[in-house]
Structure 1
Amino acid sequence: MKLSGDFDARRLRPRGPRLWRWRFGAALGALFAILGVLLTLAGAAILLGRPPLIANLEASTGAGLVLLIASLLLLLLGLLIWRACRRRLRCSDDLSLAPHLLKKHD
């Protein structure tokens, strides 16, 4: 069978989903995780008696403890968002396989 010159096989396949939302979510989750690490270090420094030189930052032990707990929660939230978006980016919607049956790439 002879193919014509204007044949394009890409038109036969359905378009895949847009991945920019998941990439943006992964970047936002990574940003939350980085911010959580930095704030954790600041909270630990306050608890150890070496407060960082940041304007308008209360250097009491209670404030350091609150900052440490809030930053650990922010770190955990960022990691969960980042992992969920990365998992969604890696798994295509072609086959419905259980996540534990997929190859491990990380």
Structure 2
Amino acid sequence: MAWFALVVAGLLEVVWATALKHTHGFTRFWPSVLAVTTAAFSFFMLAWAMKSLPAGAAYAVWVGIGAVGVVIAGIVTMQENADPARLFFLALIVVGIIGLRLVEH
């Protein structure tokens, strides 16, 4: 269950980080509400997962899911660059996330 909570926390990180881009420095109300609310839930879920998972692995997976997710969201919704080198390095992050999950006992 802790790994499920960690994945949810990572997905919520994608939401709040993407919403943060649309807050324009917290000058737009609804994107700001979305960013703050999902950030709070993301931190809560991360903290809950860390009750039974090692902090280093949990944090690395959370950041990795967030980083990969935000880059993909940028490519899909904000027409950010999707060149092969960028996708290769994203794949390395995914391999690292999977590796951390596989070696975790």
Answer 1 or 2: which has greater helix percent: 2
The two structures have a TM-score, normalised by structure 1, of 0.44
Higher relative contact order (CA 8 A, sep 6+): 1
Pick the structure with greater CA Rg. Answer: 1
